[in-house]
Amino acid sequence: QVGEQFEQLAASMLETAPLDLRANALLTKRSELQKELKEAGIKAEPTPYSPWGLRVADKPALSRLEAFVKGRVEVQDEGSQLLALLLDAKRGEMATDFCAGAGGKTLAIGATMRSTGRLYAFDVSAHRLEALKPRLARSGLSNVHPAAIAHERDERVKRLAGKMDRVLVDAPCSGLGTLRRNPDLKWRQSPKAIEELTAKQTAILASSARMVKSGGRLVYATCSILPAENEAIAEAFAAAHPDFVPMDAGELLAGLKVEQAASLCSGGDSGSLYLRLWPHLHQTDGFFAAVWQRK
């Protein structure tokens, strides 16, 4: 996949990741937030792909800013913003962020839903969901329902079978797309660890897919660059679930007015079936996403 660009990829992984911010679309516009930051002495440039993103060169103390305290801005990598955009949850819908963690994507999805409908934030870690609470309080969102689940086959999940318009599965992964932020990850992975992760990813995707209703959208994502955690999982899922029709990520992003959408994607006959973000090409963390619509 990387081929002759391996050296560039490796070099990019040694660089410091920029600080990406997301304008909370429920409370402000990106241009207004940019102006507000400028007045506070912070120079921020619009990110090239996400319509909500601003990129800051240095590391300002954000937590003291009024924009931060009032929930108008969140820290979120541009790649992560694009995953929320790709889910494209609408007003009044039922949606689930299946591996919500501290809720960065949950908050972005809630804003696209304009704080209407219902958005479940599930995670097996109650501790990680705790970190979502103060962010949620600032965000102005009232449609988010965080819930700790025991595992992917939890009763709460079963009760929602066939009820969801949108489900995002940002699966637990090796995190090898985030080495710029977490350099020590590369010493913590092994072929056996990857094998255990891919088994978990397969199970989580199959289980969460049951929640998607007919005509609903399912997005599988990781912050890994390994094909074993990405294309291989997506292809196996598609083969085992013929009622889920693959959607072209490049076309979806172009429809959402993302600049150069096709250049963010690869795979399939179209060459843009999957979202494939690389630090050396897109200045984001390494991300993958596959999208399906249930028949």
Q: How far apart are CA 29 and CA 252, in angstroms?
A: 22
E-only strand ranges, the chain:
19-23, 44-46, 53-56, 73-75, 94-97, 118-123, 144-148, 164-170, 212-222, 244-247, 265-266, 274-277, 287-294
Q: Tokens 């660009």 sit at which residue?
A: 5
Residue 99, token pair as written in the block: 């591996």
**Residues 29, 30, 31, 34: what is their CA dihedral angle, to the nearest 10 degrees?**
130
Strands 94-97 and 118-123: parallel
265 belongs to the catalytic site: no
Using a 10 angstrom Cβ sphere, with 0-12 exposed, 13-18 middle and 19 or more buried, the burial of residue 212 is buried
**Residue 59 CB neighbours (<10 A):** 9
Contact status, residue 169 vs residue 152, Cβ threshold 8 Å: no
Q: How many CB atoms lie within 10 A of CB 145?
A: 11
Q: What is the DSSP letter of 139?
A: H
Residues in contact with 142: Cβ distance below 8 Å, sequence separation at least 6, in sequence order: 115
Identify residue 132 by its one-letter amino acid code.
L
The residues pairing with 189 across neighbouring beta strands, listed in sequence order, are none
Catalytic residue numbers read 223
